[in-house]
Amino acid sequence: MFIMTRRTVLSTAAAGAAFGLASKLEFVSPAFANTPDEPEVGFYRYRVGSVEVTAVYDGIWRKPHDPAFIKNASIEDTKEALAKAGLPTEFMPIPLTVVVLKIGDRLIMMDAGSGVGQWQANATHLPANMMAAGIDYTKINTIAISHFHPDHVWGLMEKGTNAAVFPDAELIVNAAEYNWWTEPGRVEKLAEGRKPAGKRIAEVFPKWKNWRLVEDGAEVAPGVHIVAAPGHTPGHSVYLVDGGSEQLMVSADIMYVPALLAPHPEWQGAYDQDGPMAIDTRRKLVDRVIADKIAICGSHFPFPGYGTFVKDGNAYGFTPTIQA
C-alpha cells in the first residue's frame, strides 16, 4: 500500500516515463525537504491490507560530514546527492523510525530504537511518541530485530543498568546475527570503534531467556517472514509483512539513506561490514519490491520512513510518503 499525499512527488524514473524520456532524468525531489527537522506529529499510521502499521519517530542524527562515511564517494559527492534530494548539505541527516505492527490483537515492534539518548543525544522521542500513538510498551508481544547495531537495539536496555526494557516480550533475531556477536572471543576481533558495543552485547544479551533464534524464511508472526539480508552485518535481516491484499518490506538498513543510495546503489557505507555483499543484497531486495509491487519502509528513510522505489537505469528512484 502506498499513500499518495499532496506533498508526494514523482521519482526520477517515474517522471522520465511520464514525459516520454528514455534517458536518465535529473530530478530534485522536494518531498525530502525539511525531513531533518522534528516532525509536527511523531507517529504516522497506515495499513498494509489487514495489518495496521504505526511509524514512530525516535529522533535524528545530524551527522557531521566524514570522508569515511561512504567508502567510494567523497564528501562533495554526498553533498551533491543531498542537494539533489532537496536536503540540507551542512550535515548528513540520518533519522530513525521504529515501526509497530498490529496483527489481530498482537503488537509486533520492528527493532527497539536507540535507547532514549544512548545512541544520539537527540534521539530520545520514542517513548513519548509511542504514548501519543496509543501504544503501551508493556503490551508489546514481540520485537523482531534486524541486526545488533546500537541504533536498533540499545532500546532493549535501560541506560546505566542494562536491565531489560521488554523482559516479557519475545525477542526474535536471525540466528546468524546473534551467534556472530556473542561468539566467544568476538569482542577482541572487533575494530576499536566497535568494541564497546560488542562488549555490551556479549555481556548482556546471552543472559536473557526470551530470545528466539530463527533462520531465513521463518514465519515470526502471522504473515510476517524474516528474510536474510547480509552485508551490513553478517546476520542483518529484513521482514516481509503480508497483509493479504498488500505487502510491506521492513527493510532496516539495506538502503539506509535513500538520498544517497537510491541514485548510487554501488556506494559502500562505512557501517557495512561487507560492502560488496551489502550492495548485492541492496540490489536484490530493492529489485524484488519493485517487481512484486511491494511497499517498503526503512529505519533511516525520511519520516515516516515509508514509500516506493522504481528502477532508474542501473540505479533507483525513491518516492517517500511525507506526513500531510
Summarize pLDDT for 138-178 with one digit per residue, the tens. 999 999 999 999 999 999 999 999 999 999 999 999 999 99
Beta strands in 166-260 (DSSP E): 170-174, 211-214, 219-221, 224-228, 237-242, 247-250
| pLDDT value at 278 more than 80 | yes
Cell representation of residue 213: 533464534
Q: Is residue 132 part of a domain?
A: yes
Average pLDDT over residues 223-249: 97
List the single range of 136-150, 214-228, 288-302, 307-321 with lowest mean pLDDT.
307-321
Q: What average pLDDT does range 180-194 have in this prediction?
A: 94
> Residue 20, by phi and psi: left (phi above 0), alpha (psi -120 to 50) or beta?
left
Could you tell me what percent of the chain has a pLDDT over 70? Answer: 88
| Domain containing residue 264 | 12-320
Give residue 264's pLDDT.
97
Domain contains 214: yes
pLDDT at 122: 86
CA distance 301 to 324: 16
The verdict on residue 54 lying in a domain is: yes
- The cell 539518548 sits on which residue? 117
pTM of model > 0.95: no
User: Does any domain span residue 6?
Assistant: no
CATH of the domain at 157: 3.60.15.10
Please state at what angle helix 195-204 crosses helix 175-182, rounded to 10 degrees: 110
> Which residues are registered as beta bridge partners of 51?
48
Q: What is the pLDDT of residues 118-142, one digit of tens each?
A: 988 889 999 999 999 999 999 999 9
* Choice between 83 and 23, residue whose per-residue pLDDT is larger: 83
Give the per-residue pLDDT at 35.
55
Q: In the structure, how many helices (H) and strands (E) does the chain have?
A: 9, 14
pLDDT at position 10 is 32
pLDDT for 313: 92
Is 106 contained in some domain? yes
Query: Rg (Cα) of the chain, in Å, rounded?
Result: 19
- Torsion sign (Cα): 132, 134, 137, 142: negative
Phi-psi region of 227 (alpha: psi -120 to 50; beta: other; left: phi over 0): beta
DSSP 262-309: TT-TT--BTT-SSHHHHHHHHHHHHHHHHHTT-EEE-TTSSTTTEEEE
From residue 151, alpha-carbon distances to 37, 75, 184 in Å are 19, 23, 23
User: Does 19 score more than 90 pLDDT?
Assistant: no
Say what the pLDDT of residue 23 is: 33
Q: Which cell goes with 264?
A: 548510487
Residue 1 within a domain: no
pLDDT computed for residue 322 by the predictor: 65
Classify residue 280: in a domain, yes or no. Answer: yes
**Does residue 7 belong to any structural domain of this protein?**
no
Domain count, the chain: 1
What is the pLDDT at residue 238? 98
Q: pLDDT confidence of 88, banded at 50, 70, 90?
A: confident
